[in-house]
A = this chain, B = another copy of it.
Amino acid sequence: MTNTINRQIVLAARPVGAPKESDFDMVEGAMPTPGDGEMLCRTLYLSLDPYMRGRISDAKSYAAPVQIGSVMVGGTVSEVVESNIGGFSPGDIAVTGNGWQEYALSDGKGVRKLDPGIAPISTGVGVLGMPGFTAYVGLLDHGRPKPGETVVVSAASGAVGAVVGQIAKLQGCRAVGIAGAPEKCAYVTEELGFDACVSHRDDNLAEALAAACPNGIDVYFENVGGAVFEAVLPLLNPFSRIPVCGLISQYNATELPPGPNMLPMLMRQVLTRKVAIRGFIQSDHLERMPDFINEMPGWIKDGRIKYREDIVDGLENAVPAFQGLLEGRNFGKLLVRVAPDPTA
């Protein structure tokens, strides 16, 4: 251990609207020393995810917010540097929750070791980690797709959406994506094998989506909210299901949008088409994690599930990368490479 400094990004202020650089601070903490039953982990990859916007707001949500001055939370892939825990040895690679910092201690609870032989270790916080599991449990358990049904997913080129559509195809469904940039739409159909993808930048989104869903929508996997959701409403089939995973278009909003008020329209559709809407978080479904861990690596190995990563180098670039994520500037699962990947 030659390095004695641990760079960390802490929350400096609660963002109002889009997070600013000044809402975060880079600080230099002391390198922690593991005690009995602890290990020191070095962050290799930091996962940047939309949910983090909620964690730095003090609005009531499913988790307590990050406090001002505290290290930003986040999933990480780490290398064990020193270990006083049985079962963990220096050089082990594991999925940890280090947050936005170079080093952290862990007691090993909730830590999952990774086998670099199965897939690149960065996937431990991507397609083989939280975002992949979110897609898996959200689509299968809440969306309950049946062969021949139409599954629509927004943020379709993103870490969750890309997996949702590909699992929908594996279930024998028509998969339709909604994405932004033309190259993302092309990727979704040409690389990921979705049947269609429409752009939310299209002035005629509603018409384009209707054309892509000639038999209506049976499952809408919601990652976006706002105008995209409104375009989905008229197309909902009887007994359609809407797993609500995220609402990224709304996270930076500081006030409700102007009218008309679309809430009565939604409720009318819910009533007359007997729609089921369900907000969910993957951590409420950890009993399904073993099934995911059994199934997903095979799908990836067989090329049935593809993934794309958008890797930014250096912890000092985490904040601009996160800002870009909230504006859809990333293309694929967004990661920060905090230290060189020893397995690459």
Interface positions of A (Cβ within 8 A of B): 54, 59-62, 222, 225-226, 229-230, 238, 244-247, 250, 253, 255-281, 284
Contacts and interface: CB of A to CB of B under 8 A. Distances in A.
Most B C-beta atoms less than 10 A away, residue of A265, A267, A278: A267
B247 A253 contact: no
Contacts of A244: 267, 270-271
A267 B60 contact: no
Give how many copies assemble into the complex: 2
B265 A256 contact: yes
B267 A274 contact: no
A260 B258 contact: yes
Contacts of A263: 229-230, 261-263, 265-266
B279 A270 contact: yes
Contacts of A276: 276-279
Nearest to A249: B264
Nearest to A240: B279
A258 B264 CA distance: 11
B270 A54 contact: no
A264 B257 contact: yes
Contact of A271 (B246, B265, B273): B246
